[in-house]
A and B are shown apart, each in its own frame.
Chain A
Amino acid sequence: MNYLSDIGSYAIMVREVFKKPTKWPIMRNLILKEIDELIFGSLGIIIFISIFIGGVVAIQTALNLTNPLIPKNLIGFATRQSVILEFAPTFTSIIMAGKVGSYITSSIGTMRVTEQIDALEVMGVNSLNYLVFPKIIAMLFYPFIVAIAMYVGIFGGWIANVLGAHSSSAEFVEGLKLDFISFHVTYSFIKSVVFAFIIATIPSFHGYYMKGGALDVGKASTVAFVWTSVAIIILNFILTQLLLG
C-alpha cells in the first residue's frame, strides 16, 4: 500500500515540476550548471569503466572460443552486441544512479533539512520546477554519454583483443560489422532517454520529500539508489520486451 501511495506522490511531483516555470535566464544558468555537474562530471568515470568492461567482454568471449569451427570474428561481434545492447545503456545507468543519483538526493535533501526549500516556497518559487526541471533537461544529454560509452567500450574490447592476441585486428573489425542492425543503437538510445528521466527524478523525489536531519540525508541517498536501480532494471526488461521482443 505504501509503495502505491509513493508512486502516486511521485507522479504528482513530476506533474508539479512542469508547472509555473522559473524565468528563462535563471533557468538557463541552472541547466548549464547541471549539465556541467551531471554530464561532464560523469564522463571520466564512465569512460574508465567502459574501456575495462569492453575489454573484459572481449577476453571472456575469446577464452570461451575453444571450438575451432567457430570463426574468430565472433569476439568483435559479441563485444559489439553486449556493449551496445546492455553495457552502454543499462550498466552505465546503474553507475549513474549511484554517482549522479546520490548527488541529487543529498543536495536536495540538504536543502530540505536546512529549510532552504521552505524558503523558496515562501518566496513564491515553484521549488520543484526550480530544483528538478534543470536536472531533467541536463539529463537529456545522457544519450551522449551512452554513445561515448559504446565507442569506448568497443575500443576497450579491441585493445584487449589485440594485446591478448585472441584474434587479429582485422577479424575483430570484421566481427564489429557483422549483421549490424542499426535499430539496436536506436533501442539503446530510447532506453537511455527513459533511464535518464528516472535518474533525474527518483533521487529528486527521495531528497525532496525526506524528513529528519543530516543523518537522514545519507539514508535517503541509499534508499534512492536502491529504487532508482530497481526502476532501471524493471524498465529495461519491459522496454526490451516491447522494442526487441
Chain B
Amino acid sequence: MIDIVNLHKSFGDSHVLKGITTSFEKGKTNLIIGQSGSGKTVLMKCLLGLLIPDDGIISYDGRRFAELSGDERRNLRQDMGMVFQGSALFDSMTVEGNVMFPLEMFTNQSRSEMEDRVNFVLKRVNLVDAHKKFPSEISGGMQKRVAIARAIVMKPKYLFCDEPNSGLDPNTAILIDNLIQEITKEYDIITVVNSHDMNSVMEIGEKIIFLKNGVKEWEGTNKEIFRTDNKAITDFVYSSELFKKVRQMYQEEQD
C-alpha cells in the first residue's frame, strides 16, 4: 500500500500539488488521470522521491519515504520500476543493454540467464527485432516499449508508468495496457499509471484519481466514472465526440 497524505509541491510561485490525499492498493492498477499540466508527472515524481514535496507524507507499506536513509531509499528503489514520460533510455546503450542494465547491476545471473530474461520481456512488449539498435535508431513508440521492458525486467513490487501508451497506435496501446494489468495481477504488485487515455481508463482503471489543477477532484473506479455527475469529470471524460455520443445513447437507453 502506498499512502499519500496532504501532499503539497510548488515551483517558485506556482503551486502545482495542493494537498493530495489518497492511497494506492496492491494487486490493482491505479490510474491518475487529468488534463495536461494538472500535476500527474509531478505527483509521480514525488512518489519516487525524484522531487521533494514541500509538505505531506508519502509512505510505502507504512514506512515513511522521507525518513529513509540514502541506502534504505536505494534498496526500496530496487523494488521499483518506472516508465518515464520521455522514456529516458540510456542512449549510450543498445535496446538489449538498456533492458539488461538492472539485471547486470543488481543480480548475479549468468549472461545467458540475463539474455533469456531480456528476450522474454522484450517479447512481452511486442519488440523482437530491435535488440542491437540504439535508442536514437528506433521510433518513439518503440522507445516507450523498451522503457516498459526495462521497468518490468526485475519484477518490481511497485510499477510506475507515466503515460505508457501515449504515442502508440491503438492496438499496441491496448496491448501495453493489458500487459500492465497482467503483470499487476501476476506479481500482485502496486501499479500506478498516469494517463489521459480514456481507453486505458475503461480497460484497466480499477482505481482512478482525477486531478484538476493540482487538486484531487474525484476518486473511484472505472465503473463509477461513467455514472458520476461531477461536472469536471464529465467534461474530461466526454471531451471526445465519440464518448459524448456513447453517453447520450447510454442515457437514452436508460430512460
Contact = CB atoms under 8 A, between A and B. Distances in A.
Nearest to B104: A26
A152 to B, nearest CB: 32
Residue of A116, A121, A123 with most partner-chain B CB within 10 A = A123
Contact of B105 (A114, A115, A116, A123): A123
Residue of A19, A23, A26, A122 with most partner-chain B CB within 10 A = A122
A116 B74 contact: no
Dominant secondary structure of chain B at its interface with chain A:
helix
B82 interface: yes
Contact of A122 (B48, B71, B86, B106): B48
Given A26-B105, A114-B86, A124 B91 contact: no
A122 B80 contact: yes
A119 B82 contact: yes
Contacts of B91: 110, 114, 116
A118 B71 contact: no
Contacts of A118: 45, 50, 84, 88
Contact of A119 (B74, B90, B104): B90
Contacts of A28: none
Interface string A75-90: 0000000000000000
A115 B50 CA distance: 10
A125 interface: yes
A221 B183 CA distance: 42
Residue of B45, B71, B105 with most partner-chain A CB within 10 A = B105
A126 interface: yes
B77 interface: yes
A114 to B, nearest CB: 6
Range for the number of chain B residues in contact with chain A: 20 to 34
Interface string B80-117: 10101010111100000000011011100000000000
A125 B78 CA distance: 8
B75 interface: yes
A219 interface: no
Interface string A5-27: 00000000000000110110010
Contacts of B62: none
A116 B87 CA distance: 9
B88 A119 contact: yes
Interface residues of A, number: 18
Nearest to B45: A118
Contact of B77 (A26, A111, A114, A122): A122
A124 B82 contact: no
A121 B77 contact: yes
A57 B50 CA distance: 53
Given A122-B48, A122-B50, A19 B70 contact: yes
A115 B78 contact: no
Contacts of B70: 19-20
Contacts of B75: 124
Contact of A123 (B49, B71, B86, B102): B102
Interface of A: 19-20, 22-23, 26, 110-111, 114-116, 118-119, 121-126
29 contacts: A19-B70, A20-B70, A20-B71, A23-B104, A23-B105, A26-B104, A110-B91, A114-B88, A114-B91, A115-B84, A116-B88, A116-B90, A118-B45, A118-B50, A118-B84, A118-B88, A121-B49, A121-B50, A122-B48, A122-B77, A122-B80, A123-B80, A123-B101, A123-B105, A124-B76, A124-B77, A124-B106, A125-B74, A125-B105
Interface of B: 45, 48-50, 70-71, 74-78, 80, 82, 84, 86, 88-91, 101-102, 104-106
